[in-house]
Structure 1
Amino acid sequence: MSEERRLDVLRAIVEDYVLTREPVGSRVLAERHRLGVSPATIRNDMAALEEDGYIAQPHTSAGRIPTDKGYRLFVDRLSTVKPLSSPERRAIETFLSEAVDLDDVVARAGRLLAQLTGQVAVVQYPSLRRSGLRHLELVPVGDRRLLVVIITDTGRVEQRTLEVAAGPDEATLAELRSRLNAVAAGKRLAELGQGFAEVAEQFRPEHQDLARSLALLVEETLSEESEERIVLAGTANLARVGMRFEHALRPVLEALEEQVVLLGLLTEMAAESGVSVRIGHETQLEGLAETSVVTSGYGNEGDSVALIGSIGPTRMDYPGTIASVRAVARYLSRVLTA
C-alpha cells in the first residue's frame, strides 16, 4: 500500500467526518473523492489505517472515524491552510482597532475568534513578566505617598502606592520620572535591574533610597504571577447541535471553569513556536479529552507575550480554525504594539 494513498484516505475520512459527523465507509469515500482506486482497495487501506491506530470502528458494520492519532497525523501533514477572505481580514482589523483599552481589545478578540470558528475562544491577558515598559508615571498623593502608574507596551496598566519618608519636590520627581523612563522604555523584567541601579546612583544620597524603592516596586510588579488570567468567549457554542461531543458536555464545561488548570495548559503550549495544536488526550486534562486546542502567541514579532486560542471538539475544521487563530493573533499583535 502506498503511504501517500493511505494519507489521502485518512485525509478524506477526516474531512468527511468533520463535515457529516457520521462514520465514513469505503464506498462513500470512493464516490466523494477522486482517490483513483476501487472501494475494495480503499477498504484494504482503511484496514491498515485501523491496525495502525489512525482510525477506529465505533460500531459493528459501521464506517470509520479518526482517532486522536489520526487527527494528529492529519494536522502534521497539512500542506495548506485556507486563508481568510479579504472582507474577513478587514473586518478583524477594523473591529479590533476600535477597542478603547486593553480589556476591550482582549474581549473583542475573544468574541471575534468565537464567531469565526463557532467554538470557544480563550484569550490570555498579556503577561507582566513578558511585557516591556512603555511609560512610568509618578503622582504625589498627600505628603508621604506616591501613586506609581506602570504602563506596559501591551497596554496593561498597573497602579501601586509607595510610602515615602518625605515627599520629594516637583523637580526631583520630574527627574526621577524622566531618568527611570529613559532607562526602562521597552525593556522587560530581566533587563531592568542594572539600569535601575545605575539611575539610583545618579541622585543625591537623600534621594537614592527613593529611587531604589521605586525600582524595586516596578520590578516586583512585573514579576507578579497572581495577575495572570484568561478570558473565555463563545462557551454557549458548545451546546450547539452541530458541536455534539461523543460523551457528556459537562466535563468540558467544568474543565473550562478551572482557569488555573487551563492557564497551565496554555503555558505549556506557549513554549511551542507558531500555531500549536493539542488533540484530545494530548491536553493531559481529563475534561478536555474530547477536545482539541489550537493556539498562537501574540505580541511583538517573534516574541509573544500571551496566547489566543480556540477550543472545540476533536472533530473540528483544523485548517479553518488554524487560519482564524493565526489571523486574529496577527491583528491583535498589531493593535497592541501600534
Structure 2
Amino acid sequence: MITERQLEVVLSVVYEYIKNGETVGSRTVSRRYLTGRSSATIRNEMSDLEDLGFLKQTHASSGRIPTTQGYRLYVDSVLQRVDNAGPSVKLLKKMMEHRQGLEKMLASASEMLSRVSDYVGIAAITPLDTVRFHHVNFVRMGERQVLLLVVLQGGLVHQKFIDVAVDMSQEDLDSLAAKLNHFSGMAWSDIKKTVKKELLADIGRYHDECEKAVSAIDSMLGAHEPKIFTGSFSHMMNLQDFQDLGRMQALCSFLEEEESMAELVKRCSIDGLNVMIGEENGLPGMKGSSIVAATGEAGGQKAVVGVIGPERMDYEKAIASIDGVLRKLDSESAEKEEIKK
C-alpha cells in the first residue's frame, strides 16, 4: 500500500512522462506539480517508489519513468473519473442493436480512430458461434425442402433453406429440433461436436439429413475467430516511441497476425471500458504497447472498438477519441435513417 503523497508523485511522473517523453526528476515534480513539497522529499519518495516497482531509472543518474505498475495506477485514477459503462459503451451497444451495416461502421471506426488519435484504431465483432442459441425450428416447405430457423440469445434470428434427399414429415422435423433444443442456452462452438454425435446416433434413418442440418447451422453461424478491422498505422511512425524501426516492425507484424489479434481482442472483451498496459497483455508482440477499448454486448454478440498505442499513451485522449468517433458514427447513422423516412 502506498501513501497519498507517493500516489501524487506517481501520478505526476506518469503525466509528465506522457506529455514530454523525457525522464522525470524530483525538481520537475516539485516545481510543476507538488509545489508544497521539497525536491529532496520527492527524491526520497521516488526512490521508495522505485523499490516498490512503480518507477524505474533508465540509467543510474537519470530521472525516473513509470513501470507498467505505475501506468496502471495512473490509468485506474483516470477510469475513476470516467463512467466505466459511459457514453462509448452505450453508443457501441446502440450500433450493435441496429446491426444493419454494423461491419461497415466498425471498419469506419477503426480508420477514424487511427486519424484522430495518432495510434492504431481497431474494431472487432465476435463470431456468432460463440453466441448462446435459444432454439432451432425446422419447417417443411415442400417435398424435399426444409426451412431452418436458428434463434440466438437476444432474439437474433437466422434462416436458411435446406434441400434434403428424402421427404421428412413435420413430426420428424420437430423431433430433430427437440433434440437440438436440448442444448438451448449453450454456445454452438462448445456443443456442435456433441450435437452431431448424438443426432446421428438417435436418428440413424435420417443420417444424411441430420448431418446436413448440423453443417447448415455451422456455416450459418460463421467463423470461429472474431472479425477484426485495423486502421492505418502510418500515424504512429511519427511518434517518439516508435522511432526505433525494430520496435515499429514488431508491432506491425503483431497487428498482421490474425491469431494474435484474435487473442488480444478476446482478452479485452469484458463489457465496459478496458485498458491493458504493456506486460499486462501477456502477448510478446504487445510488449511496450497498450490497448484502450470499449466493449459492448447486444444480442449475445460482443463488439470491441479501441486503439493500440505505446505504453506511454495519452490514455485520456484515447478514451475521448473512442467516444468522439462513436458519437460521429451514431450521428451519421441517425441522419441516414432520417433521410430514409
Which of 261, 285, 289 matches 2:283?
Answer: 285
Distance 2:223 2:329 in 1: 23
Mean Cα deviation higher: 221-230 or 18-27? 221-230
Quickly say closer, same or farther: Cα 1:67–1:238, change in 2 above 3 A.
same
Quick check: 1:189–1:222 contact (8 Å CA) kept in 2?
no
Quick check: 1:275–1:326 contact (8 Å CA) kept in 2?
no
Deviation at 1:269, TM superposition (A): 2.8
Distance 1:95 1:243 in 2: 34
- Give TM-score scaled by structure 1 length: 0.68
Distance 1:324 1:188 in 2: 36
Q: What letter corresponds to residue 311 of structure 2 in structure 1?
A: T
Q: RMSD of the TM alignment (CA)? A: 5.1
Q: Aligned to 1:297, what secondary structure does the other structure show?
A: strand
Distance 2:279 2:80 in 1: 25
Summarize deviations over 1:212-262 as a string: whole Å, max 9, x none.
678635542366544533111132222123453666211111111111112
Unaligned runs of 5+ in 1: 194-207
Query: What are the residue-to-residue correspondences of 1:179-218 with 2, within 5 Å?
Result: 189=187, 216-217=214-215
Deviation at 1:159, TM superposition (A): 8.6
Q: Aligned to 2:290, what secondary structure does the other structure show?
A: strand
Unaligned runs of 5+ in 2: 193-205
Q: What letter corresponds to residue 295 of structure 2 in structure 1?
A: G
Identity %: 27
Query: What are the residue-to-residue correspondences of 1:155-304 with 2, within 5 Å?
Result: 162-165=162-165, 189=187, 216-217=214-215, 219-221=217-219, 224-226=222-224, 228-244=226-242, 248-270=247-269, 272-300=270-298
Quick check: 1:82–1:323 contact (8 Å CA) kept in 2?
no
- Give TM-score scaled by structure 2 length: 0.68
Q: Aligned to 1:62, what secondary structure does the other structure show?
A: coil
Quickly say closer, same or farther: Cα 1:150–1:124, change in 2 above 3 A.
farther
Q: In the comparison of the two structures, how many residue pairs are matched?
A: 313
Distance 2:114 2:151 in 1: 29
Quickly say closer, same or farther: Cα 1:16–1:297, change in 2 above 3 A.
same
Distance 2:96 2:220 in 1: 26
Residue equivalent to 1:39: 39
Distance 2:23 2:120 in 1: 25
Summarize deviations over 1:56-84 as a string: whole Å, max 9, x none.
1113432211111211222233364469x
Normalized per residue, the structure richer in helix is 2
Q: Aligned to 1:22, what secondary structure does the other structure show?
A: coil
Q: Aligned to 1:56, what secondary structure does the other structure show?
A: strand
Summarize deviations over 1:5-25 as a string: whole Å, max 9, x none.
111111111111111111111
Residue equivalent to 1:29: 29
Residue equivalent to 2:74: 74
